[in-house]
Amino acid sequence: MTGPDVRADALGQAQQAVQGRGVQFNYYSGTGGRAAVALDTLVPPPVLVGRDAELQRLQREGLRAREAGRPVVMSAVHGMGGAGKTALARALAAEIGEQFPDARFEVDLRGFTPGHRPRDPGEVLGELLALVGFAPAEIPADAQAKGGLWRGWLAERRVLLILDNARDAAQVRPLLPGPRTSAGCLVVVTSRDRLTELDAAVRIGVDTLSVSDAVALLVGVAGRSQEEMAARDGELAELAGLCGCLPLALRPAGSLLAVLSAAEVIEVMRSAEHPLEHLEDVDQVVQAAFTASYSALPPALRRALGVCARHPGPNFDAASVAALAGRPRPLAAVQLARLLERNLLIGLPQGRYTFHDLFLGYARRTTDYANDDPEVRQGRRRLYEHLEAAVYSASAALTKQSMDQAASDQFGTPSEARAWLTAASDELTVAAQTALSEEWEQANAFVDHVAFWLTLDNKPEQAARLYSAGHAAACDAGDLRGQANALAGLGRVARIRNDFDQADGYLRSALRLHRELGDRAGQAPILLTSGFVAQARADLGEAEAYFRQALQHYGEAGNRLGQADALLASGRVARLLGELDRAHACHQQAFEHYRELEDRLGQAHTFIALGDVALARGNLGEAEAYGRRALQLHEMLEDRSGQAGAFRGLGDVARARRDFPQASAHYRRASELFQGLDDRGGQAQIRMKLAQLAECQGHHDEARRQYRHAADLYREIKLNKQADDCAEACARITGSGE
C-alpha cells in the first residue's frame, strides 16, 4: 500500500524543542490541490558562521551519491551539545531543498532534550504518516507495520528528511527509507552520539568554532560592527574563549554586546567561579545540554566520566585514567572511546582526550567532584606514581642505548618515547604542579623528571615555572631540601637561557642550603652548573675549581653519570687552557662512563668535545669523524641544541681546511638551530665564527658586520669579555680603533 495521492493538507506539526526556552510549535496547513511543494515542515536556518567546509562537503557528497544511483544518502552529523548541528542541517536543507519537490520534513527526536524522554520511533512514524495524508484509520497500531507503510510512501518520491537530535541508531532505523527507493531521498541525522552503528554515506563531525569564526558570530548576533563595539585587540577573542567557542553560549553572550562592551561582559565572566555563572540563562542552557548527554549514559560510563573529571588536566590518555580509577588500561581505553562516540570528550592526537572548556566544570559539579575527597586524593597519587615512572622511563628511552624492561614494555622505540613525551607535556606539567600542592611525598622527584624533559624539549620557561611552584611549596612546608632542589633547578634553567646573573644568584642560595644540610651529594650538581656559568664568563680558573669539587662530590656519592658530566666539563676547560693531553684524557674517561651507562646523550656531547681537541691538534680527519658521529646521535635524539653544536664543530673543521663554502653552510645551519631555540649565546658564537670565516676570505665588510652583531648579542646576555673580544677584532680589521 502506497497511501493516497497527497492533496495537501499538511495537517500535523513539527515540534522543535528549544533548550532553555520552553517548546515552540510550528503548525503548517494548506488547501486542496497539489502544490509545487506539498509538504514542508522545515525550519529556516539561523545565520551560519564558520561551517562553510562542512556544508560544502555535505552538499558535494550528497549529490555524488545520488548521481551514482545510491537511493539513500544518510548523513550522521554529530557533535557536542550546542555545537550547531541543527543549524548546519537546516542550512543544508535551505540550500538543496528544491531538489526534493515531494516533501521536506524536519523532526525533532528529542534524544537529548532536557526534561523530555526520547521520542518513540513508532510515535514519530504515526505523526509522519498523518502528516502526509493518511487517515487515522489507515495508520496501523503496530510499529513495524507503520514502518512498512512509511517506506512504501517514500518509495517513489523525492523527500528530504531531517531527523534531528537522535538518541541512538535504534531510534533512527525505523524512520529510514527502504532499500528499493528509486526517486532519491536524502536523510540527514543529527546527534550528539556518533551513531557508528548506522551505515552513513557521509559522516560529519561538528566541532566548536574557530576563534575568528566565534568572534564573527558574536559580532553578527550583536548587530553591530566590530568598530562600533570599540573592542580593544583581543577582547572579542577572549570573550569567545570564555564562551568555549560554542554557538550555544556565543549567541546569548553576543546579544549582550548589543548594549554592553566586550570588556564589561569579560569582567563579569572573569569574576565568576566558572565563566557563565553570572549569566544565569546562558549557564542554564549549557548546563542543560551537558546534563542531557550525561543522563543518557549507562552507569559504567557515568562513573568513567567522573574519573576523567578528577584528572588535573588539561588532557589525558587511557593509562592515566586507568591509574586514577585503579582499573586495567584496556577497560579505560574502551570507556574513553565510548565517551568520545557520545561527544562528551574531545579526541586529540596520540590517543589523548580532553573536555570542552565549559563542560569540564559541569562534569565536576555533576559527578560530585571534590579535591579533598579521600578517593580523589588516592586516585591522584596513583596518577602521580604512574606519570613519574612514565616520564622517567620515556626520558631514559630517549637518552640510553638500551632500556630497562619497564621502559621497553611501555615505549618500544625512542621515537615512541618522544611522541608520548611531546603529547603528554601539558599533562605532566600540570600534574607535577598539583602533586606539589597536594604535598605528594615524591613531588620533587616528579618535578625534576618533568623539568628535565621540558629543557630537553626546549621549553625552559615551562621548566622554570615548575621549579618556581616547587620552591613556593617547599617554602610553605618549611622544607629546606625542597627549597634547595628547586633553586638549583631554577639556576640550571637560567643558565640554559643565558641569564647568568640570575643563575648565579639561584645557585649560590641553593649551595648555601645544601651546605647547611650537610648534603654533599646535593651540592655536586650545583657546583657543576656553577662551573658552566664561570666558563661562560671566561673565568676558566674558577670554572675548573667548581668542576673538580663536583667530580669529588659525585665520586663520594658513587654517581657515575655525574662523574662523567664533571669530567667532560673539566676536559673542555683544559682544552681552552691549551692542555690538550689532559683534555683528551678527561673526555676519554667521560666517554667510558657514558658508554658503560649506555647514555647516548652524554656520548654525543663527548664526541663534539673530542672533535674540538682533535681539531686543536691538527687532526682534521679525526675531528670531522667525531663531528659526524655527534651529529648522527643528536639527530637520532632529536636534540636541536646538540645538533647545532655538532654543526659548529664541523664548520670549524671545514674552515681549517679552507673549504669556505662548506664551513659557511655548517655555520648557517647551526645559526638556524640556535635561532629556533632562542639561544642568544649560541647565536653570538656562530656570528663570531662567521666573522672569522669572512675575515679569512678577505671579506672585511661582512666580517665587521658579523663581529658587531656578535658583540651586540654577547652584551645582551652580559658576557662582556666576549663582546669586547668581538669589538677588538672589528677594530683590528678597520684599523680605526673602533
Residue 706 reports pLDDT greater than 70: yes
How sure is the predictor about 315, in pLDDT bands with cuts at 50, 70 and 90? Answer: very high
Q: What is the pLDDT of residue 391?
A: 94
Residue 555 reports pLDDT greater than 60: yes
Q: What is the pLDDT of residue 369?
A: 61
Q: What is the pLDDT of residue 10?
A: 31
Residue 168 reports pLDDT greater than 60: yes
Q: What is the pLDDT of residue 228?
A: 66
As a whole number of angstroms, the distance between CA 601 and CA 590 comes to 12
As a whole number of angstroms, the distance between CA 24 and CA 17 comes to 6
Tallying the residues shown for the chain, one arrives at 738
What mean pLDDT do residues 712-716 have? Answer: 94
Question: Cα separations (Å) of 146 from 138, 149, 170, 186?
Answer: 10, 5, 16, 20
Q: What is the pLDDT of residues 381-395, one digit of tens each?
A: 999 999 999 999 898
As a whole number of angstroms, the distance between CA 415 and CA 419 comes to 6
pLDDT-above-90 percentage for the chain? 52
Q: What is the pLDDT of residue 22?
A: 29
Question: Cα separations (Å) of 668 from 300, 457, 497, 644, 671?
Answer: 58, 22, 21, 10, 5
Q: Decide which of 735 and 505 is more confident.
A: 505
Coil/strand/helix, residue 433: helix
Average the pLDDT over each of 103-112, 226-235, 515-524, 600-609 and give the range with the smallest value: 226-235
Contact assessment for residue 384 and residue 442, using Cβ atoms and an 8 Å cutoff: yes
Our CA angle for 75, 82, 80, nearest 5°, is 60
As a whole number of angstroms, the distance between CA 391 and CA 378 comes to 20
> Shortest CA distance to 246 belongs to which of 362, 364, 90?
362
Peptide bond into 252 cis (omega under 30): no
- For 239-263, b where at least 16 C-beta lie within 10 A, e where not — what string? bbbbbbbbbbbbbbbbebbeebebe
Q: What is the pLDDT of residue 402?
A: 57
Coil/strand/helix, residue 542: helix
> Shortest CA distance to 661 belongs to which of 670, 671, 651?
651
Residue 560 reports pLDDT greater than 80: yes
What mean pLDDT do residues 467-490 have? Answer: 93
Phi-psi region of 272 (alpha: psi -120 to 50; beta: other; left: phi over 0): beta
Kindly write down the DSSP assignment for every residue of 207-259, as one continuous string: -PPPHHHHHHHHHHHHTS-TTTTTPPTTHHHHHHHHTTT-HHHHHHHHHHTTT
Coil/strand/helix, residue 15: strand
As a whole number of angstroms, the distance between CA 575 and CA 732 comes to 26
How sure is the predictor about 583, in pLDDT bands with cuts at 50, 70 and 90? Answer: very high
pLDDT-above-70 percentage for the chain? 88
Q: What is the pLDDT of residue 20?
A: 30
How sure is the predictor about 229, in pLDDT bands with cuts at 50, 70 and 90? Answer: low
Contact assessment for residue 414 and residue 397, using Cβ atoms and an 8 Å cutoff: yes
Coil/strand/helix, residue 379: helix
What mean pLDDT do residues 304-321 have? Answer: 93
Name the H helices within 326-373.
329-341, 357-366
Centre a 10 Å sphere on the Cβ of residue 229 and count the other Cβ atoms it contains.
Answer: 18
C-alpha cell at 90: 537546516
Residue 577 reports pLDDT greater than 80: yes
Contact assessment for residue 548 and residue 570, using Cβ atoms and an 8 Å cutoff: yes
As a whole number of angstroms, the distance between CA 91 and CA 394 comes to 48
Q: What is the pLDDT of residue 414?
A: 80
Q: What is the pLDDT of residue 31?
A: 35
Q: What is the pLDDT of residues 413-440, one digit of tens each?
A: 788 888 999 999 999 999 999 999 898 9
Side-chain half-sphere exposure of 372, counting CA atoms within 13 A:
0
Largest CA distance in the chain: 110
Q: What is the pLDDT of residues 256-308, one digit of tens each?
A: 888 888 888 999 888 887 888 888 877 887 788 788 888 888 999 999 999 99
What mean pLDDT do residues 149-165 have? Answer: 89
As a whole number of angstroms, the distance between CA 52 and CA 11 comes to 34
Q: What is the pLDDT of residue 623?
A: 97
Q: Which residues contact 320 (CB under 8 A, 6 or more apart)?
A: 311, 383, 386, 387, 427
Tell me the β-bridge partners of 400: 599
Q: What is the pLDDT of residues 446-465, one digit of tens each?
A: 999 999 999 988 899 999 99
> Shortest CA distance to 244 belongs to which of 264, 271, 269?
269
How sure is the predictor about 608, in pLDDT bands with cuts at 50, 70 and 90? Answer: very high
Q: What is the pLDDT of residues 655-666, one digit of tens each?
A: 999 999 999 999
Query: For 86-125, what is the HEC assignment?
Result: HHHHHHHHHHHHHHCCCEEEEEECCCCCCCCCCCCHHHHH
Helix (H) or strand (E) holding 187: strand 185-191
The model carries a pTM of 0.74
DSSP state of 178: P
Helix (H) or strand (E) holding 62: helix 52-67
Residue 202 reports pLDDT greater than 70: yes
Q: What is the pLDDT of residues 64-119, one digit of tens each?
A: 666 654 444 456 676 677 788 888 889 888 888 888 888 999 999 988 887 778 99
Contact assessment for residue 572 and residue 609, using Cβ atoms and an 8 Å cutoff: yes
As a whole number of angstroms, the distance between CA 172 and CA 303 comes to 27
Q: Which residues contact 108 (CB under 8 A, 6 or more apart)?
A: 14, 15, 16, 17, 119, 164, 165
> Shortest CA distance to 18 belongs to which of 127, 110, 120?
110
Name the H helices within 296-403.
299-310, 318-325, 329-341, 357-366, 374-399
Kindly write down the DSSP assignment for every residue of 449-469, as one continuous string: HHHHHHHHTT-HHHHHHHHHH
- For 8-20, b where at least 16 C-beta lie within 10 A, e where not — what string? bebebebbbbebb
Q: What is the pLDDT of residue 537?
A: 93
As a whole number of angstroms, the distance between CA 677 and CA 296 comes to 49
As a 3-state breakdown, the chain gives helix, strand, coil percent values, each rounded to 5, of 65, 5, 30
Residue 573 reports pLDDT greater than 80: yes
Q: Decide which of 342 and 634 is more confident.
A: 634
Residue 701 reports pLDDT greater than 80: yes
As a whole number of angstroms, the distance between CA 45 and CA 93 comes to 9
Q: Which residues contact 598 (CB under 8 A, 6 or more apart)?
A: 400, 401, 402
Q: What is the pLDDT of residue 371?
A: 64
As a whole number of angstroms, the distance between CA 59 and CA 201 comes to 12
